[in-house]
Structures are given as C-alpha cells and as structure tokens.
A and B are shown apart, each in its own frame.
Chain A
C-alpha cells in the first residue's frame, strides 16, 4: 500500500472514533396528504457487534415533530437533546406550536456549526399549521433541503430505486405507512448494518401514532430464512 492510500485508509477508519457506536441504519420519512410517516430499523452496531437490537431511532422533538437519526449514536442523541432544548425555549416565547421548518433550521445550525466534530445524518419531519406534513433532510455537512420524502443511513442505498418508483404524492396515511414499512424491510434484508425491528411514527394534525413490528414479523424477502423466533412461534 503506498503512502497516500494508507493515509486515506487511516482517515476512513478515523471517521468513527475507537469504540464509538454507530447507527449503520435505514431511516426514511415520507409526506402524504395531511401528514408524514417516519420509519427506521432498530439495529445499533459497534463493528460486527450489535450493541442494541431494539433501538429507537425516531426521536420526538416537539408535539408534532420527530427526527430520524443516523450516524454516531452519541452525536445524534445529544444533537436531538440540544434541538429539543432550543425548541422548548422557543415554544415558551411563541404562543403557538413551533413549525417543522424552525425545528429543521435549528438542527442544521448545530450540525453545520459543528460539522468537524459530528457524524450525524438527520431527517426532521412533522406536521404544522402552515405547511401541513413536511420532510426536511439534514445530511452530514449540514445542508437543509425540503423534500417530499427522504432516505438515510447505510441501508438507504438498497432502496432508492424502489422508493423512487413507488412513492406517490397523494397517498393516504395507511398507504404511506405501508410504503415506509416495506421500504425499510427491503433495506434490512440487504444491508448487514440494518436489521431487527421496524418502527414507524405517523404524524398528522391529530397527533402522533407509533407502530412497532418485531423482528419475527418483519416480512421476508428473496432468499431470507425464517428466524428462530418465528420458528418457535410456529411450533408453539
């Protein structure tokens, strides 16, 4: 290996600090008529080791805004805590709900201003009076983009094509949740760093509704074998 290549390899290794726990992840948020659905797998890994198999990567920021977290678990947890803190303070001085745009704006401010220290890819999504359901992507560098739907994490690479083909602008809440659920299940099937269970949150003007699909009930895809949990259920 020549010097330059070795340097590059070392730099790549240093992206995550020694012992840092990463969210090799699949996250997604999609808007529909009147709201948004957020979805995520539940695997948190440290190299080959699964540090947590029932992680909740969908973190609540306000009454009607959630964030999907990918990257370093420590960075994104603390980042969301800061955003929660600022949003809480801000909602005290406003006498209305904070908008999704403002929540996303605070997330970018923090990621952009600390981009050298952070490993965080966020998707901020929720519902507000002005814009209805909206999705804001906040990727690594701290860019802020409003999008109809957004994918993130290592698993997203496997489902871009499927999502581009199947997302439609005016789905019902149920259709949109199914879209998110299926997308995440496909990514989990192919991506080694994604897996476990599927979590979704549906946000509309009426509130937030969570779903949880245990690993034993995640749909099987081409070439997958039934897991132990499922076999036990069948035999019981």
Chain B
C-alpha cells in the first residue's frame, strides 16, 4: 500500500483517484487473453466465429460451446471466461422469452442488447459482486435487418459492422476494416472469418473453429454453420495461409 492509486483494485464500489474501476478493467483483461471471437454483419445476415484452443488431446470435438441461440432470431458468442458467458446466455434467453410472452412479439435486437448490458452492468456496482470476465457478441435479425452488438464486461453495448475481441483482436480488426461488408454475403463471411482466425492464431497450438450465423441459409434463424461449410472454409483458410507463408519465404 504505497503510492497514489494503489489499493483501489479490490472492490468495484470504489473509484481510483484517476477515475478507474480496476476490477472492471481486470475483467476486460480476462477477455483480452481469451480466444479470438469475430463477428461480421454481412449484407444478408450476421456470422459469428470463435477460435477455440483445444486444451487436451482427449477432448471431444465440439465440446465447450461458445455460440448459443437465445431465441429463433437472436444468438450469442461468448469471449473470455465461458462459465461467466453462460450466465449471460441464460439471462438473454429468459429476457427473450419474457418479452415474447409479455408483448406477444419477438424482442428487437436493440432492446435485447440493452437488457443484456443492464444485466452485465449490475455486476460492476456492488462490493460483493465481481464483473463478468466475458464479452458477448449478439447477432440478431428483426425488422431492422441483421444487427451485430458487442457487450463488454462493464455493461457497455455498441452496434458494429464488424468486431473482434480476445487475443487476436488487433490483427483481426485491421483485416475486418479492409473488408467491404456491404458487398459481403454470409457465405463469404464464413470464409473470411475462418481466414482471419487462422491468420491471428498463434502457431503450433491446435484450435477448433466454431461458427454460427443467422441468414437466409439458416432460415433466418440463429444456427451453427453446417459442418461441411465450416470444413470447406477451414480448408480455404489453411490454403490461403500456406500461400502467404510461401510469399514470405
């Protein structure tokens, strides 16, 4: 306990002298060191992609899911601590179904994102709580068309054309910024995401691609991308990576 600005990181109920809530910042760090998660709002829908590092050789393929449908027209991808993320998924599911039974209509994306954000934010307010170590990406399809939202551990929600969080976010963002998203279909978006995830992935560690989308191909419902489509995107991404490696040599 020496110097100004120390000792303010134990509770979310005290600001540091320079105006930070350290627990919230640390929660963001937990997201930043996790696997990369990418979301693209294409011209016909939204694609979410996760880089899942395979923690054991004995792990079954497809375990530790990171994308979840919360309603027919909405789904989440969770970055960071997946156990924390599942709390958010559960809340999002009940928000969506409560809205439906109360108003008789599916919840609009912007409202769902607001409600998830409010839920997440509450954990930044009390000394006995800890913020979620997770950022969630929300893909929705409603009257406003396809939308992509990101809600971070502080409970901030923003709407994006394209977003990346997790370990490889910086590299991923620069690549996403170069994409012409208004000309990109979800079918192409899947391939782009696979490419980016391979590109930003640290070598020698195996990883699994998990992709979900909501577009015409999925019947305008939030679904996992079919295995054959993922396999094809994976193959193309590896080929592209090999090619660029050869250029480097």
A interface residues, Cβ below 8 angstroms from B: 90, 93-96, 99, 101-102, 104-106, 109
- Secondary structure type dominating chain A contacts: helix
A-B contacts, CB under 8 A, total: 21
Is the beta-carbon distance between A102 and B105 smaller than 8 angstroms? yes
- Secondary structure type dominating chain B contacts: helix
Closest to B114 in A: A93
Report the count of interface residues on B (CB-CB < 8 A).
9
Q: Would you give the shortest CB distance from B97 to chain A, in whole angstroms?
A: 14
What are 21 A-B contacts with C-beta separation under 8 Å? Answer: A90-B103, A93-B111, A93-B114, A94-B108, A94-B111, A95-B110, A96-B143, A99-B105, A101-B104, A101-B105, A102-B103, A102-B104, A102-B105, A104-B104, A105-B102, A105-B103, A105-B104, A105-B105, A106-B102, A106-B103, A109-B102
Contacts of A95 in B (CB 8 A): 110
Contacts of B143 in A (CB 8 A): 96
Q: Would you give the shortest CB distance from B113 to chain A, in whole angstroms?
A: 12
Most buried by A among B105, B110, B111, B114: B105
Q: Mark B103-140, 1 if CB is under 8 A from A, else 0.
A: 11100101100100000000000000000000000000
Closest to A144 in B: B104
Contacts of A109 in B (CB 8 A): 102
Closest to A129 in B: B143
Closest to A87 in B: B103
**Could you list 8 further interchain pairs (A-B, Cβ under 8 angstroms) beyond the known A95-B110, A105-B102, A105-B103?**
A93-B111, A94-B108, A99-B105, A102-B104, A104-B104, A105-B104, A106-B102, A109-B102
Bound together, the chains give a CA A96 to CA B144 distance in angstroms of 10
Closest to A96 in B: B143
Contacts of B114 in A (CB 8 A): 93
Closest to A109 in B: B102
Q: Would you give the shortest CB distance from B96 to chain A, in whole angstroms?
A: 15
Contacts of B111 in A (CB 8 A): 93-94
Contacts of A102 in B (CB 8 A): 103-105
Contacts of B104 in A (CB 8 A): 101-102, 104-105
